[in-house]
């Protein structure tokens, strides 16, 4: 690249940092020069002046972090600054995960409960409509969008508890192809949730063949993440192998009291398929608690036919009594102190945010089961909860795997404004600094830790010229104070930014400076067919 024809040779110059380039290679000291949206030089003591100079002495200079599993789809339209993500060093979000995407919204398809809390700027039905709105608001982060299988089913079959017939499958294939031709990068499934849980293996194979033909990725929330983990992983490995599609296993973990031997079998299956040449990776987060809709703990028949049917059952006194009895029995094996109420909608339920299910039950003078049903009815199924119970040893074992990258499994949030009005899992604010701190404290070598957050997901998701610190790459960068970086969000106080993220640059735009948001937005929609 030629120097600019004026007194400033560079637009931005990052001086004297320890570069961890995203490849897994050893760190090295260098300056990094940026012109427009690209890195144009990486070398010691680069000559010349810059419009903006960033002092990175005693800091790490890394590629911007890639959130391999994000749910920010609709919220990006409300707060395109993406504060909780960009402040932890994230420059790219892979959205539309767990089978739920913001588009298309045709037929009976509807947004998930937490997204339905808000009114959005503009209206959309097709994926192209949604993409146009997102481009209009101009996000601070890059966005790699997926289409949700549950969303497609909502468009075509509604929420009926049955496999799709041939005509319905053909229509889903057409909608998926249309969305990918409009920029979607793949398909995600949420096989633990209706209506995706009713899909036969053949349906998944035929849909993922559409993804494979277009060079996309299939990302999947497994049917079971506890005692049947190995069988659930074998199912999606078989689907990916038969379809010839690149596979991402979402938030790989094991819970529900399952033994580590179950995890052994699951990981052995992944290794076999990888050895046979299947492109398969996974993502994970460094916490011992998961989060989901509160109604996931209800008997399956309650939510098996969609939200309207579920609410009708909960409102009906006879059905409610039956469901309460069954749920009381199921909760006997749970520690209700370790189920934390997070998102609520009804103003009267705000007081339960951050409280355990047991605490909320005491406040209502109800049993835990009665409390669950009360919250779901008054919040119209939008209640979410945090579920503790994952083992630290299993989490660390998964995080060490060479093919596992990092994902927040969270929507963006903000300490102020509309998106401050809930009580999220702390992973929304802290996932990447927490993982980096764990690695700096001995979990993994620094270079490998950074590769898992940058180069690995960039390669797996086909993000050309991203995830690397090298000349010619896009200028997505994160500058980190190594000695102090850590997460600060907790289960009781989740809306807390991390510390130690000094600067974040997205496509050459300084988005975080000296640990504070600048308000500038440089993100792009990273469509499958190019940036």
pLDDT tens digit string along 174-183?
999 999 999 9
| Structural contact between residues 235 and 196, judged by C-beta atoms closer than 8 angstroms | no
- Asked if 364 and 238 sit in the same domain, the reply is no
When pLDDT is cut at 50, 70 and 90, the band that residue 281 belongs to is: very high
- pLDDT of residue 259 exceeding 90, the answer is no
User: Token match 């009005």: residue?
Assistant: 421
Return the DSSP state at 64. Answer: P
Q: Once rounded to an integer, what is the mean pLDDT over residues 194-220?
A: 97
pLDDT for residue 120 = 95
- Asked if 233 and 188 sit in the same domain, the reply is yes
Q: Work out whether strand 90-95 and strand 65-67 pair parallel, antiparallel, or are unpaired.
A: parallel
| 498 token code pair | 């991390």
- pLDDT of residue 64 exceeding 80, the answer is yes
Last residue within a domain, chosen from 425, 449, 466:
466
Q: Work out whether strand 186-190 and strand 289-293 pair parallel, antiparallel, or are unpaired.
A: unpaired
- Asked if 165 and 112 sit in the same domain, the reply is yes
pLDDT for residue 8 = 73
Q: Is residue 45 part of a domain?
A: no
Q: Is residue 161 part of a domain?
A: yes
Q: Once rounded to an integer, what is the mean pLDDT over residues 515-523?
A: 98
Q: Once rounded to an integer, what is the mean pLDDT over residues 464-487?
A: 99
Q: Is residue 471 part of a domain?
A: no
Q: Is residue 530 part of a domain?
A: no
Q: Is residue 235 part of a domain?
A: yes
Last residue within a domain, chosen from 387, 406, 425:
387
pLDDT for residue 5 = 42
- Asked if 116 and 233 sit in the same domain, the reply is yes
Backbone angles phi, psi at 45, to 5 degrees: 45, 60
Structural domain for 366, as ranges: 292-387
Looking up residue 148, the CATH number of its domain turns out to be 3.20.20.140
CA 25, 27, 29, 33 dihedral sign is positive
- Asked if 169 and 239 sit in the same domain, the reply is yes
- pLDDT of residue 1 exceeding 50, the answer is no
- pLDDT of residue 444 exceeding 60, the answer is yes
Q: Is residue 24 part of a domain?
A: no
Region of poorest pLDDT, from 162-171, 201-210, 300-309: 300-309
- pLDDT of residue 484 exceeding 80, the answer is yes
Q: Is residue 58 part of a domain?
A: no
> How many domains is the chain partitioned into structurally?
2
Which residues, 6+ apart, have CB-to-CB distance to 429 below 8 Å? 84, 87, 88, 413, 487, 488, 489, 494, 495, 496, 497, 498
- Asked if 224 and 344 sit in the same domain, the reply is no
- Asked if 133 and 213 sit in the same domain, the reply is yes
- Asked if 153 and 225 sit in the same domain, the reply is yes
Q: pTM of the prediction?
A: 0.95
pLDDT for residue 282 = 99
CA 412, 417, 420, 422 dihedral sign is negative
- Asked if 234 and 134 sit in the same domain, the reply is yes
Q: Once rounded to an integer, what is the mean pLDDT over residues 509-530?
A: 94
When pLDDT is cut at 50, 70 and 90, the band that residue 304 belongs to is: confident
Average pLDDT of the chain? 95
Q: Is residue 451 part of a domain?
A: yes
pLDDT for residue 106 = 95
Report the percent of the chain where pLDDT is more than 90: 89
Cis upstream peptide for 104 (omega within 30°)? yes
When pLDDT is cut at 50, 70 and 90, the band that residue 7 belongs to is: low
Looking at per-residue pLDDT, the higher value among 421 and 43 belongs to 43
- Asked if 320 and 415 sit in the same domain, the reply is no
- Asked if 369 and 459 sit in the same domain, the reply is no
Which residues share a beta bridge with 13? 33, 53
- Asked if 169 and 266 sit in the same domain, the reply is yes
When pLDDT is cut at 50, 70 and 90, the band that residue 2 belongs to is: very low
pLDDT for residue 530 = 56
Last residue within a domain, chosen from 414, 442, 466:
466
């Amino acid at each position: 690249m030629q120097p600019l024809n004026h007194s400033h040779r560079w637009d931005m110059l990052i001086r004297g940092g320890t570069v961890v380039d995203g490849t897994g290679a050893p760190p090295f000291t260098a300056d990094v020069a940026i012109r427009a949206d690209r890195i144009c030089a990486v070398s010691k003591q680069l000559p010349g002046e810059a419009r903006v100079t960033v002092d990175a002495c005693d800091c790490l200079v890394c590629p911007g972090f890639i959130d391999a599993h994000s749910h920010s789809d609709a919220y990006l339209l409300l707060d395109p600054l993406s504060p909780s993500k960009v402040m932890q060093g994230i420059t790219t979000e892979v959205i539309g995960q767990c089978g739920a995407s913001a588009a298309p919204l045709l037929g009976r398809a509807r947004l998930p409960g937490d997204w339905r809390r808000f009114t959005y700027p503009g209206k959309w039905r097709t994926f192209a409509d949604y993409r146009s709105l997102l481009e209009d608001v101009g996000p601070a982060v890059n966005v790699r969008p997926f289409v949700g299988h549950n969303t497609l089913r909502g468009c075509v079959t509604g929420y009926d508890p049955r496999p799709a017939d041939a005509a319905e499958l053909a229509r889903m294939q057409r909608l998926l192809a249309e969305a990918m031709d409009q920029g979607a990068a793949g398909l995600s499934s949420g096989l633990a949730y209706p209506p995706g849980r009713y899909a036969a293996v053949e349906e998944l194979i035929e849909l993922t063949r559409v993804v494979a033909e277009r060079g996309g990725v299939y990302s999947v929330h497994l049917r079971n993440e506890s005692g049947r983990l190995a069988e659930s992983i074998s199912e999606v490995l078989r689907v990916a192998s038969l379809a010839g599609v690149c596979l991402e296993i979402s938030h790989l973990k094991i819970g529900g009291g399952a033994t580590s031997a179950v995890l052994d079998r699951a990981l052995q299956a992944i290794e076999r398929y990888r050895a046979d040449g299947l492109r398969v990776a996974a993502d994970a987060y460094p916490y011992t608690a998961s989060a989901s809709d509160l109604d996931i703990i209800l008997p399956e028949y309650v939510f098996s036919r969609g939200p309207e049917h579920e609410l009708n059952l909960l409102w009906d006194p006879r059905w409610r009594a039956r469901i309460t009895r069954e749920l009381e029995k199921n909760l006997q094996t749970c520690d209700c102190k370790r189920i934390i109420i997070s998102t609520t909608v009804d103003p009267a339920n705000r007081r339960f945010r951050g409280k355990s299910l047991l605490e909320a039950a005491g406040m209502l003078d109800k049993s835990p089961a009665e409390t669950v049903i009360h919250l779901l009815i008054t919040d119209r199924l939008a209640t979410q909860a945090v579920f503790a119970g994952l083992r630290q040893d299993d989490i660390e074992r998964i995080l060490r795997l060479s093919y596992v990258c990092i994902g927040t499994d969270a929507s963006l949030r903000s300490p102020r404004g509309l998106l401050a009005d809930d009580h999220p899992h702390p992973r929304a604010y802290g996932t990447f600094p927490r993982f980096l701190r764990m690695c700096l404290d001995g979990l993994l070598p620094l270079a490998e830790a950074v590769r898992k957050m940058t180069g690995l997901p960039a390669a797996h998701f086909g993000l050309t010229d991203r995830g690397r610190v090298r000349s010619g790459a896009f200028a997505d960068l994160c500058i980190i104070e190594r000695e102090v970086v850590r997460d600060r969000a907790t289960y009781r106080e989740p809306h807390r930014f991390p510390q130690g993220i000094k600067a974040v640059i997205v496509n050459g735009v300084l988005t975080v400076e000296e640990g504070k948001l600048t308000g500038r937005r440089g993100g792009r929609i990273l469509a499958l067919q190019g940036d």
